[in-house]
Amino acid sequence: MPATVVVGTQWGDEGKGKLTDLLARDMDMVVRYQGGHNAGHTVVVGDDTFALQLVPSGILYEHIVPVIGNGVVVDPVVLIEELDTLEAKGVDTSRMALSGNAHLVMPYHQEIDRVTERYLGKNSLGTTKRGIGPAYADKAARVGLRVQDLLDPKIFRQKLDVVLKEKNALLAKVYNRLPLDADDICDLYLGKLADRVSAMVVDAVALVHEALDRGDHVLLEGAQATFLDLDHGTYPFVTSSNPVAGGACTGSGVGPRDIGEVIGIAKAYVTRVGSGPFPTECHDEVGDILVERGHEYGTNTGRRRRCGWFDAVMARQAVRLNSLTEVALTKLDVLDTFASLKVCVAYQAGSERYVHPPYHQSVLHQVTPVYEELPGWQEDLSGATELSDLPPAARDYVAFLAEQIGVPIRLVGVGPGRDQFVRFAA
Ligand code: GDP
Ligand code: IMO
Ligand code: MG
């Protein structure tokens, strides 16, 4: 049974948590394949809201084996806190499995993330300051510590001593910060914390392949999104991993032939947190309405998200980059009050028209969106459960997006709740 991928098609926060939770009803395993606690995936169950950072969004179901794959960077302190919070809410976290090959986010990563952002000043990226970029940088530089190093305190200490020397020189000499102490880091990461983490450590590649061989349904859950991808996003205003579907392979140890469906998730409009180009961004009251009606504030960082109209140019590119088989559209209800809606169908730069994003970022910064205007429905969609509950204008809007994107839209979100969605076939 090939695995299914869930991937964000915009700049994050499309509703991956909600969709993963929804699909997990029919899955056996959910694997997070990249990112770290820069992610915030929300699942709303009745009056309870779960904001998941590292833990796969399928954890709320007892039949799901939740796995953190090798492609994730893990802050063990955050992971344990997150599991404790879930346990306190009555969620059984005992099935949690963690790849021994996942890299650790270390205290100096967070410190370096914070100081480099400050150092960059007005050129800062607007990172989540969680140490994610520095952790992936160390992974690539081959000086990272991995989850499996927690199982061997001697090795952990040896590796730490080597890397900390360089980090402290950087912190003290370049950034004028106090050096970090290796004993303090060992006190924090080893001992009790390491015991708890160790209990979850598995050979995740074997675990996933055994599940696939059994015919189990495996869902690979992405964090961040296509245009925050290190290779394909709006570099340098990106994250430091590969959220695209290809990253699901490297981040979980599954080859491309073991992937079946690739479900892209898109909001019915677009949001972005942090810096970087955003062609359809609305700086007027439309942006304010989207922020307020969509509660567009970061799940973990609380930052106000930038908002704009749906961008079919980006969505088409996301189809290419991820081999999307379908799209799930969220937050259609947020558009309920508009008399008319704009959809960006192309970009214009001088005499050039683009139906896919220009590869050169300088051009992307200059493009003007070409909009088509569609009538709004001005009706409350939040109670809709079937296609026939959607007013014709809402159906037409979704059908128009599907036609523009070029892949079917099969699920449409009409509210944050677990059951607030409509099955579509546009
Ligand atoms: P993720 O990072 O992709 O998992 O998305 P986030 O959880 O950061 O942000 C999505 C937000 O939208 C969360 O607060 C969800 O509860 C909410 N949400 C998801 N789907 C819908 C929807 O269809 N309608 C509304 N109104 N809210 C939704
Ligand atoms: P989920 O999984 C939205 C953004 C940051 C910043 C850039 C780099 O909830 O969709 P980083 O801390 O990763 O080095 O920051 O990426 N960013 C996100 N934006 N949703 C996320 O995750 C994000 N994770 C990182 O705001 O612009
Ligand atoms: Mg989020």
Question: How does pLDDT run across 225-284, given as a tens digit for each residue?
Answer: 999 999 999 999 999 999 999 999 999 999 999 999 999 999 999 999 989 999 999 999
Residues of the chain with pLDDT > 90, as a percent, come to: 96
Rounded Cα gap, residues 241 and 220, in angstroms:
15
pLDDT at 75 exceeding the cut of 90: yes
Tokens of 181: 């102490």
Average pLDDT over residues 62-70: 98
Task: Report the distance separating Cα 225 and Cα 215, nearest Å.
Answer: 28
Closest residue (by CA) to atom 11 of ligand 1?
15
Give the pLDDT confidence score for residue 1 in this predicted structure.
84
Residue 28 appears among annotated catalytic residues:
no
**Which residue's alpha carbon is at the smallest distance from atom 27 of ligand 2?**
274
User: Is residue 360 classed as helix, strand or coil in its secondary structure?
Assistant: coil
**426 or 270, higher pLDDT:** 270
**Shortest CA distance to 101 belongs to which of 153, 32, 148, 33?**
148
Choose the catalytic residue: 13, 21, 258, 333: 13
Whether 126 is in the pocket of ligand 2, judged by its Cβ within 6 Å, is yes
Q: What is the average per-residue pLDDT within 134-152?
A: 97
- Within 10 angstroms of residue 161's Cβ, the number of other Cβ atoms is 11
Q: Is pLDDT of 426 > 90?
A: no
User: For 118-133, how does the pLDDT look when each residue is reduced to its tens digit (9 = 90+)?
Assistant: 999 999 999 999 999 9
376-406 burial, b for 16+ CB within 10 Å, e for fewer? Answer: bbeeebeebeeeeebbeebbebbebbbebbe
Where do we find the tokens 């959607």? Answer: 390
The answer, yes or no, to whether any atom of ligand 2 lies below 6 A from the CB of 83, is no
Identify residue 249 by its one-letter amino acid code: C
Report the separation in Å between the CA atom of 153 and the middle of ligand 2, taken as the mean of its atom positions. 32
Strands 41-45 vs 340-349: parallel, antiparallel or unpaired:
unpaired
Q: Is 356 a catalytic residue?
A: no
For ligand 2, whether the C-beta of 38 sits within 6 Å is yes
Strands 29-32 and 65-68, sheet pairing: parallel
Choose which residue among 221, 239, 301 to substitute to test ligand 2 binding: the one with the highest number of ligand atoms within 8 A of its C-beta: 239
Residues with CB under 6 A from ligand 1: 8, 12-18, 40-42, 44, 299, 330-331, 333-334, 413-416
* CA distance to 36, 113, 186, 400, per residue, from 240 (Å): 10, 12, 26, 33
pLDDT on residue 301: 80
C-alpha distances (whole Å) from 321 to each of 8, 233, 247, 357 are 11, 10, 11, 12
Q: CA nearest 312: which of 390, 243, 398, 239?
A: 398
- Ligand 1 midpoint to CA 283 (Å): 22
In this structure, the residue with its CA closest to atom 16 of ligand 2 is 239
Q: Is the CB of 137 under 6 A from ligand 2?
A: no
Q: Is the shortest distance between the CB of 132 and ligand 2 below 6 Å? A: yes
147 in helix, strand or coil?
helix
Q: Which of 28, 37, 41, 138 is catalytic?
A: 41
- 39-51 confidence digits (pLDDT tens): 999 999 999 999 9
Three-state DSSP class for 7? strand
**pLDDT tens digit string along 304-351?**
999 999 999 999 999 999 999 999 999 999 999 999 999 999 999 999
Note residues around ion ligand 3 (Cβ under 5 angstroms): 13, 40, 299
CA angle 71, 268, 345 (to 5 degrees): 100
Q: Is 273 in the pocket of ligand 2 (CB under 6 A)?
A: yes
> What stretches of 199-284 show up as alpha helix (H) in DSSP?
204-214, 245-250
pLDDT confidence bin for 182, thresholds 50/70/90: very high
CA gap 128, 196 in Å, rounded? 26
Give yes or no for residue 228 CB within 6 A of ligand 2: yes
Closest CA to 339 of 371, 305, 374, 315: 374
**What pLDDT does residue 300 have?**
75
Determine whether the shortest distance from the Cβ of 40 to ligand 2 is under 6 A.
yes
At 298 the pLDDT is: 85
CA of 14 from ligand 3 middle (Å) equals 7
Of 340, 336, 330, the closest CA to residue 271 belongs to 330
The mean pLDDT of 12-35, rounded to a whole number, is 97
389-409 per-position pLDDT tens digit = 999 999 999 999 999 999 999
The number of residues in the chain equals 426
267 C-alpha to ligand 1 centroid (Å): 9
For ligand 2, is residue 241 a contact (CB within 6 Å)? no
Q: Which of 307, 223, 221, 209 is nearest to 254 (CA)?
A: 209
Share of the chain above pLDDT 70, in %: 100
User: What burial letters (b/e) apply to 275-308, b meaning 16+ CB within 10 Å?
Assistant: bbbbbbbbeeebbebbbebbebebbbeeeebbbb
Q: Model pTM? A: 0.97
Instruction: Give yes or no for a contact between 343 and 316, defined as CB atoms under 8 angstroms apart.
Output: no
Instruction: Using the mean position of ligand 2's atoms as its centre, give its distance from the Cα of residue 235 in Å.
Output: 13
- Distance, in Å, from the CA atom of 192 to the CA atom of 186, rounded to the nearest integer, reads 11
CA of 114 to the centre of ligand 2 (A): 14
Question: Which ligand has the minimum distance to the alpha carbon of residue 276?
Answer: 2
Q: Is the CB–ligand 2 distance for residue 15 below 6 Å? A: no
DSSP letter, residue 302 = -
Band (pLDDT 50/70/90 cuts) for residue 425 is confident
pLDDT in tens, 413-424: 999 999 899 998
Q: Produce one character per residue of 28-65: b if its CB has 16 or more CB atoms within 10 Å, e if not.
A: bbbbbbbbbbbbbbbbbeeeeebebbbbbbbbbbeebb
Q: Give the CA angle between residues 10, 68, 45 to the nearest 5°.
A: 65
